[in-house]
Chains A and B, each alone.
Chain A
Amino acid sequence: MDGFLDYFGSLDPSLFVAALPGNIAQGILWGIMALGVYITFRILNFADLTVDGSFATGGAVTAVMLMNGSPIWIAMLVAFLAGITAGLVTGLLHTFLGIPDILSGILSQIALYPINLHIMNKFSNLPIKVDNYGMVFTSNSEKMNICGLIMSMRDVYTAIIVAAVIAVIIMAIMYWYFGTEQGSAIRATGANPKMASAQGINISIDKIVALALSNGLVAFSGSLLAQYQGFADVNMGRGSIVIGLAAVIIGQVIGEAIFRKNFNFILRLLFVVVGGIIYYLVMGIVLWLKMPPEDLKLFTAIIVAVFLAIPYLRGKSKNSFKRVVKMNRKSAKLEVEKNA
């Protein structure tokens, strides 16, 4: 009992509050990554595991380009293109070589590990020092540098604003794109490939395009996170698919609970990012409760499992065999009481 009290006595709320901005910034960055996952997982109906590799590719490309004196804008663009290439490979494996979706993603992911190492010149970790590059947007105007990083954890509040603005821009682009003829065709391909084919849509091409866009976005967010945390690591993408799915699913469950029938496409996108933030807030609480950091992935798995189960269990509770029996018993009882 004493141990228990000691444990709670040792928890300092101010530590949780101090970690809050950092958690929010990371939540938005992973939310952007999750927007990429949303394209494949929700729109294309394709569980794409490439992202664990392409996320790290984004970071690796950014670090190496910066080291070679490239402006950040170019580095981020190349990171995006590298992600697109990764998605293209997965798409080709799936459509032209007929490899099942999960397997083609796993193959790309495995292949990307050594590729990322090559990109980083065999270093498993490369620093991106904000002191060397400066920052484009900063509350401290002295260190402003048009070619510097666009965010860093050194200046968390600016990072939150920059990440939020980027997230909004990406959501706007996605909202527009999936409303166009091309985007509608991709949605149809994901939801009903048979119908899409019958309406003259080349579903192979559309799958490849969606996978490429998704992984481009994932690599782009990998670039942002590498800048934010100040390094790129060949393992930084490990488990990112689960975090991405967590954001997508948490956002969906909460969004549906709030908006119900009015949960439209733009809100869905918004709540993917909200899901990312909530995920990191929960992680913040877990760490604040002094759970060992090496167990974080375990908690991630538990959180995702819980949120995946919620809609299922809720549906089941309204529509179960036990419930019918219970209801019947209740009405039988009422009948007896009425007659008595």
Chain B
Amino acid sequence: MLEIKDVFKTFNKGTVNEKVALNGVDLKLNDGDFCTIIGGNGAGKSTMLNAIAGVWPVDRGVIFLGDKDVTGLPEHKRALYLGRVFQDPMMGTVADMEIIENLAIAARRGKKRSLRWGVTKAEREKYREMLAQFDLGLENRMTSKVGLLSGGQRQAITLLMATIKKPQLLLLDEHTAALDPKTAAKVLELSDKIIAENKLTALMVTHNMHDAIAHGNRLIMMNNGKIIFDIQGEEKKKLKTSDLLEKFSVASGGQELDNDRMLLSK
């Protein structure tokens, strides 16, 4: 489904702030893979997701989505194949537009935007049913401005927007990191449900090792712009956080996992 070959990306090349963010990344996801990504700060997790989404061109390497080479496509053209949820709940929705308007914009992802009405009557019913499944009471607030919703509700809406038109790949970039633990658990549960029901292929970046182990069928660990650990299937099910810490220490050459957030969420 997704294939990344030998991808490099360096930011601020030739300056004192030069940062090698991706240092030869190779990754192949199979259809239906739900892969979690962990790693310390600056390991390249979000950078890899941004490279897939086409936020900027990579320096080198190729990215395939299905049979399609998307390396040369800009962000708005790749959007046709992707669904994305960001860390910042403000980022994925337009605060000043109604819930239903946000959903309608997402439903037209990859289509030419015509002079027909932005939201049709038939859509309204469809979205009401979809929102009702969330059990957040949003189905009765469809004409409310998204800005009035809580962070968790906004992430739920963004999640629905990302999957309303079935994407070939769903990119979740620490989408629960800005939420309180209870809401985060709820949004994660919702993500699981949507991914399972629609049989989606997904990549989820997280700082929480428990979540990384508990969700999905595959786990990769990144360090210094490289994938240093890749585990799936039965093996992943048996994984413990202590294993992960050890793996990290070995793979990174005795380096300690010096990320407070990761340690605390052990």
* Chain A residues proximal to chain B, CB less than 8 Å: 177, 179-185, 187-188, 191-192, 194-203
- Is B117 touching A179 in the complex (CB atoms < 8 A)? yes
Q: Would A184 and B118 count as touching, CB distance under 8 A?
A: yes
Task: Say yes or no: A195 contacts B91, CB within 8 Å.
Answer: yes
Chain A residues within 8 Å of B238, by CB = none
Q: What residues of A have a CB within 8 angstroms of the CB of B77 in the complex?
A: 200
Chain B nearest CB from A120 CB (Å) reads 36
Q: Which residues of B contact A182 (CB under 8 A)?
A: 113-115
* Structural contact, B75 and A181, CB atoms closer than 8 A: no
One digit per residue, 1 when the CB lies within 8 angstroms of any chain A CB and 0 when it does not, for chain B 141-154 equals: 00000000000000
Residue in A180, A187, A199, A203 whose beta carbon sits within 8 Å of that of B106 in the complex: A199
A-binding residues in B (CB < 8 A): 53, 75-77, 79-80, 82, 84, 86, 90-97, 101, 104-106, 108-111, 113-119, 161
Q: Report the 10 A-B pairs with minimum CB-CB distance, sorted nearest first.
A: A200-B79, A184-B118, A181-B113, A200-B109, A191-B94, A197-B75, A182-B113, A192-B94, A185-B113, A202-B76
Contact check, A188 vs B97: say whether CB atoms are below 8 A apart.
yes
Residues of B within 8 A of A187 (CB): 94, 96-97
- B93, B110, B115: the one contacting A192 at CB < 8 Å is B93
Contacts A180-B116, A200-B76, A202-B76; A188 near B105 (Cβ below 8 A) = yes
Distance (whole angstroms) from the CB of A137 to the closest CB of chain B: 30
Pick from B92, B96, B108, B118: contact of A198, CB below 8 A.
B92
Give the CA-CA distance A108 to B47 in the complex, in Å: 37
Chain A residues with CB under 8 Å of B94's CB are 187-188, 191-192, 195
16 contacts between A and B (CB under 8 A): A180-B115, A181-B108, A181-B115, A184-B118, A191-B94, A191-B95, A194-B86, A195-B94, A197-B76, A198-B82, A199-B105, A199-B106, A199-B108, A200-B111, A201-B76, A201-B105
**A199 surroundings in chain B (CB, below 8 A):** 79, 105-106, 108-109, 161
| Cα–Cα distance between A272 and B45 once the two chains are bound (Å) | 47
Beyond A184-B113, A198-B84, 15 extra complex contacts between A and B, CB < 8 Å: A180-B114, A180-B116, A181-B116, A182-B114, A182-B115, A185-B105, A188-B94, A192-B95, A195-B91, A197-B75, A198-B82, A198-B92, A199-B79, A201-B76, A202-B76
- For B101, list chain A residues within 8 Å (CB): 184
Interface SS of chain A: helix
C-alpha gap A143/B113 in the complex (Å): 47
> Which residues of B have CB within 8 Å of A197?
75-76, 79
Inside 8 A of B105's CB, which chain A residues have their CB?
Answer: 184-185, 188, 196, 199, 201
Q: Which residues of A contact B82 (CB under 8 A)?
A: 198
Contact between B91 and A192, CB atoms less than 8 A apart: yes
**Cβ-closest chain A residue relative to B101:** A184
Task: With both chains docked as a complex, state the minimum distance between the C-beta of A42 and any C-beta of chain B, in angstroms.
Answer: 10
Is A180's CB under 8 angstroms from B118's CB? yes
B53 / chain A contacts, CB cutoff of 8 Å: 198
> Roughly how many angstroms separate A46 CA and B161 CA in the complex, as a whole number?
26
Docked Cα-Cα span, A196 to B117, in Å, equals 18
Bound-complex Cα distance A220 to B37 (A): 55
B104 and A184 contacting across the interface, CB-CB below 8 Å: yes
CB of B76 to closest CB in A, whole Å: 5
Q: Bound complex: CA of A202 vs CA of B82, how far in Å?
A: 15
Instruction: Specify the chain A residue showing the minimal Cβ separation from B104.
Output: A184
Q: How far is the CA of A294 from the CA of B110 in the complex (A)?
A: 54
Query: Which of B104, B105, B106 has the most C-beta atoms of chain A within 10 angstroms of its own C-beta?
Result: B105
Q: How far is the CB of B263 from chain A (nearest CB, A)?
A: 31
- Partner of A191 from B79, B96, B106 at Cβ < 8 Å: B96
Instruction: Check A198–B115 contact: CB distance below 8 A.
Output: no
**Contact of A200 with B114 in the complex, beta carbons under 8 Å:** no
Instruction: Point out which of A182, A188, A203 has the most chain B C-beta atoms below 10 A from its C-beta.
Output: A188
Tell me, in angstroms, the Cα distance from A53 to B91 when the chains sit together: 35
Chain B residues lying within 8 Å of A185, measured Cβ to Cβ, are: 105, 113
A199→B107 CA distance, assembly (Å): 9
Which residues of chain B are near A202, meaning CB under 8 Å?
A: 76
Residues of B within 8 A of A194 (CB): 86, 91
Q: Verify A195–B92 contact, CB threshold 8 A.
A: yes
Chain A positions within 8 Å of B97 at CB level: 184, 187-188, 191
Nearest chain B CB to A204's CB is how many angstroms away? 9
CB distance from B148 to the nearest CB of A (A): 11
Question: Which chain A residue lies CB-closest to B112?
Answer: A181
Across the interface, name the chain A residue whose C-beta is closest to B90: A192
Which residues of chain A have C-beta atoms less than 8 A from B117's C-beta? 179-181
Task: Compute how far the CA of A196 lies from the CA of B101 in the bound complex, rounded to whole angstroms.
Answer: 12
Q: Determine the chain A residues whose CB is within 8 A of the CB of B114 once the complex forms.
A: 180-182
Of all chain B residues, the one with the shortest Cβ separation from A203 is B76
Q: Tell me the bound Cα distance from A184 to B86 in angstroms.
A: 21
Write the chain A residue with the least CB distance to B91: A194
A198 cross-chain contacts in B, Cβ below 8 A: 53, 75, 79, 82, 84, 86, 92
- Shortest beta-carbon distance, A111 to chain B, in Å? 29
Q: Which residue of B lies closest to A198 (CB)?
A: B84
Residue in B closest to A187 when the chains form the complex, CB atoms? B97
Shortest CB–CB separation between residue A228 and chain B, in angstroms?
32
Q: In angstroms, how far is the closest chain A Cβ from the Cβ of B94? A: 4
